[in-house]
Amino acid sequence: MHSSLPVAASVTSEVWGKTAAGQEVRLFTLTNEKGMEARIMNYGGILVSLKVPDKTGALADVVLGFDSLEPYLGKHPHFGCITGRYANRIGGASFEIDGTTYEVTANSGKNHIHGGREAFDKKVWLARTLEERNAVELAYTSADGEEGFPGKLDCTVTYSLTADNALRIEYRATTDKPTVVNLTNHSYFNLAGEGSGDILGHELTIPAENYTPTDDSLIPTGEIESVLDTPLDFTRPQLIGARISAAFKPLLQGKGYDHNYVLAGSGEKLAARVKDPKSGRVMEVLTTDPGVQLYTANHVKGVKGKAGHVYESRHGFCLETQKYPDSPNKPQFPSAVVRPGEPYLHITTFKFSAE
């Protein structure tokens, strides 16, 4: 699979199909000098594939997903997409800004999740290539009142592939009214290669001593609690599967990890490091955001993915860098409010190596 011939970094694009409404969808391929390759489409800003070398130089696609556009247009577990306007949950599907209450789409029982029913993951974004940065820039304007959120929000998300095998995602947004914004990417990773089974043997480090405990509907209680000496503790490297079945509620919801970790420090910081011991692939996640949600694909069941592979629970993991869930209703959490003249910026880097 690997070649010792030098590769030139490049950005190419092709038509990948059309939505039911007839909108053209394009697939963009970013390649770096080392042969690493990222494919992103402008429908949902979805990371369709990410080919990363192992310790022998052999490439494997490390994100779960589909081989064609069609299944992405149907119901799927948010594979690879840009999630917004508000990733994760808002309790009671409402919040208040400056004394005004806003009701947003209740699409998870009485709560809101991942931006609503026709959210950013189902939009065709305007796309342009930035060859000098080995990047594709996606743009979408969310109308005032879309899914109940206030303000016209102009968003750009830029995916760039660096020479040192990092996929960098820059999320920017400006608004004409005070609103809440929490954008992330919802990729499911398997560093052994998608379709290679479960991720329980991956070694995970999350340098966070605290998390945000939740009620049974996964809405934070507002407290911040220690993970130390619990099954949530990844401050030292641990196998994901070592304690995943320690299903004592409310700490674990019985099916696996679905928890927001509280990251210490400001600026761009390490959110997680994951290693697949067999292939030697290592992924480091760096973010400017204050939290990261670890999710172990608990509800994935019998999804027919790439190359005929069938994905099940725990066949991938998500590390969704984010503001904390339900921040709009928790004044003690870092604020998710964005105002006119105060742009939103969130940068996340997925950096790959092998050892």
User: What does the pLDDT look like over 176-207, one tens digit per residue?
Assistant: 999 999 999 999 999 999 999 999 999 999 99
> H helices within the chain, ranges in order?
69-73
Residue range 72-87: average pLDDT?
97
- Please give the residue that has the higher pLDDT: either 256 or 137: 137
Q: Contact at 8 Å (CB) between 291 and 253?
A: no
Instruction: Inform me whether the pLDDT recorded for 4 exceeds 60.
Output: no
Name the least confident of 76-90, 252-266, 270-284.
252-266
For tokens 């995970």, the residue is 204
Residue range 21-33: average pLDDT?
97
DSSP 3-state helix, strand, coil percentages of the chain (rounded to 5)? Answer: 5, 40, 50
* Residues making up the chain, counted from first to last: 355
- CA 302, CA 299: separation in Å to the nearest integer? 10
Structure tokens at 318: 């998500």
Residue range 284-291: average pLDDT?
98
The predicted pLDDT at position 283 comes to 98
Q: Most confidently modeled of 121-125, 241-245, 246-250?
A: 121-125
Beta bridge partners of 207: none
- CA 88, CA 219: separation in Å to the nearest integer? 9
Task: Name which of 292, 188, 311, 313 is nearest 245 in CA terms.
Answer: 313
At 246, the pLDDT band (50, 70, 90 cuts) reads: confident
User: What does the pLDDT look like over 124-176, one tens digit per residue?
Assistant: 999 999 999 999 999 999 999 999 999 999 999 999 999 999 999 999 999 99
Cβ neighbours of 29 (radius 10 Å): 18
Task: Name which of 12, 23, 49 is nearest 122 in CA terms.
Answer: 23
Instruction: Inform me whether the pLDDT recorded for 5 exceeds 90.
Output: no
Q: Contact at 8 Å (CB) between 219 and 89?
A: yes
User: What does the pLDDT look like over 311-346, one tens digit per residue?
Assistant: 999 999 999 999 999 999 999 999 999 999 999 999
The predicted pLDDT at position 8 comes to 84
The predicted pLDDT at position 253 comes to 53
The predicted pLDDT at position 7 comes to 74
Q: Going from the N-terminus, what domains does the chain have, and what CATH number goes with each?
A: 10-354 (2.70.98.10)
The predicted pLDDT at position 6 comes to 58
Instruction: Inform me whether the pLDDT recorded for 251 exceeds 70.
Output: no
At 223, the pLDDT band (50, 70, 90 cuts) reads: very high
The helix (H) or strand (E) run that includes residue 334 is none
Task: Name which of 134, 65, 136, 109 is nearest 305 in CA terms.
Answer: 65
Positions marked catalytic: 186, 320
Beta bridge partners of 276: none
Q: What is the average pLDDT score of the chain?
A: 95
Cβ neighbours of 143 (radius 10 Å): 10
At 249, the pLDDT band (50, 70, 90 cuts) reads: low
- What is the SS3 assignment for 23-83? CEEEEEEEECCCCCEEEEECECCCEEEEEEECCCCCEEECECCCCCHHHHHCCCCCCCCEE
- CA 176, CA 219: separation in Å to the nearest integer? 29
Percent of the chain with pLDDT over 70: 96
